[in-house]
Amino acid sequence: MRDGGRIAAAIEVLDEVESRRRPVRLALKAWGEASRFAGAKDRAFVSGLVLDALRRRRSLAWRMGADSPRAAVLGALVYDWRWPVERIEAATGEEPHGPGALTEDEKARLAEPVSLTDAPAPVRGDYPDWLDASFARVFDEARAEEGAALAERAPVDLRVNTLKSDPERALKVLKPLHAEPTGVLPTALRIAAPEASERTSAVETIPAFSKGWFEVQDLGSQIAAACAGEVARKQVLDLCAGGGGKTLAIAAAMASTGQIYAYDADARRLADTVRRGERAGVRNLQVRTPVNPEPLKGLDGKMDVVFLDAPCTGTGSWRRHPDTKWRLTPEALARRIAEQDSVLDDGARFVKPGGRIVYVTCSVLPEEDEDRIAAFLQRHEGFEVRPATADPALTSWLTPEGYLRLSPRTSATDGFFVAVLERAR
């Protein structure tokens, strides 16, 4: 495909995402299936351009003076991809596959970069207006900068599985992908984000991946799992296990001692936990599926750790899923808050005296984080907040209350919140 056809395809996909509120992953898949002529580089180009346009949707509309898929894509080519106007003009005017020649207004706006200095914080930070009060509560005057960091491209992070390998051996096999230690957790490696139109690193093609030597997992997610603390020889319940990423991280820290139980209200998601657990060589994992009656029977009051990776809005993962921030609504946030309260209440019954709840969200919104812990403590006597971590490499990200808060701007990770609640003896 020529540049004009690629740009036209990106506009088409973005229009599908916005007009039909379709997840970008599905819109890109549909375009790919209907465009068999498109090669791997074409798909990477279109996908990268669509995602970059979504990441900076508000600021691009401000700069382009138009809130349309075409304006967003053209703006992304200038402000993110650093294309000269001449190249854009030549590509858009290509016949018959280009999206149409630039208008005089588009030429003017692309030729003279527009500053965001006077723009409101939600524009500079590329997030919806209705979330500004929430961002202000957490980030205060830095909220625009925090939002902008959430609009950057994300690297590929890996967790070395110590049940089957070690960081030194993993780095050797990952050398072709230029993986490097993060310097935060000894088992965390990072592959830098690719250039705009390039494909992400094909980690799954490394044979050691199939052998279970490492897992793809954001550093923030790895840190959240590490906040489970000392888990060797303990009884651990992962109550919202999902696909099992944090379950496997905790299992590796347990070193095949004790017992970890994985449960999720959606039985279908647990299929990945089983498969990945087998590949990782986990021997102390017991999956409890909701398909069975009373799946958690016998665990009440017996757990040393109840890990709650709570359902949330996912605002902390906007770098990877930029379309979700424009689909998020106050009503959806309210539903998540209710689910989080329910999960916390449910998890409390499994903690034994002296045990702890580890509450985690991949959200930066205080309504889902600090507010939920405050509400839980009002409903449940006998629980106290403990520092989320004692690891010197992580304590700089503790809040004054002892919670752990991560963000792309402060920790170069996805946004995460962790609270540890200990049950009195």
End-to-end CA distance of the chain: 67
Amino acid at 233: R
Query: Is 309 annotated as belonging to a binding site?
Result: yes
The token duo for 188 is: 């965390």
- Could you say which of 227, 240, 312, 362 is catalytic? 362
The token duo for 212 is: 């279970």
Preceding peptide of 96 cis, ω within 30°? yes
Region of 212 (left: φ > 0; alpha: ψ -120 to 50; beta: rest) is: left
DSSP bridge pairs for 384: 422
- Measured distance CA(162)–CA(389) in Å, rounded: 21
- Taking residue 17's Cβ as centre, other Cβ atoms within 10 Å add up to 24
Examine the residue annotation and report whether 312 is marked as an active-site residue of this protein. Answer: no
Contact between 140 and 131 (Cβ < 8 Å) = no
Residue with tokens 């030194």: 168
Q: Count of alpha carbons within 13 Å of 129, Cβ hemisphere only?
A: 2
The token duo for 157 is: 């992070």
- Measured distance CA(211)–CA(24) in Å, rounded: 31
Contacts of 21 (CB under 8 A, 6+ apart): 327
The token duo for 290 is: 């909701």
CA dihedral over 383, 388, 389, 390, signed as positive or negative: negative
Active site residues: 362
Annotated binding site for S-adenosyl-L-methionine: 264, 309
Annotated binding site: 264, 309
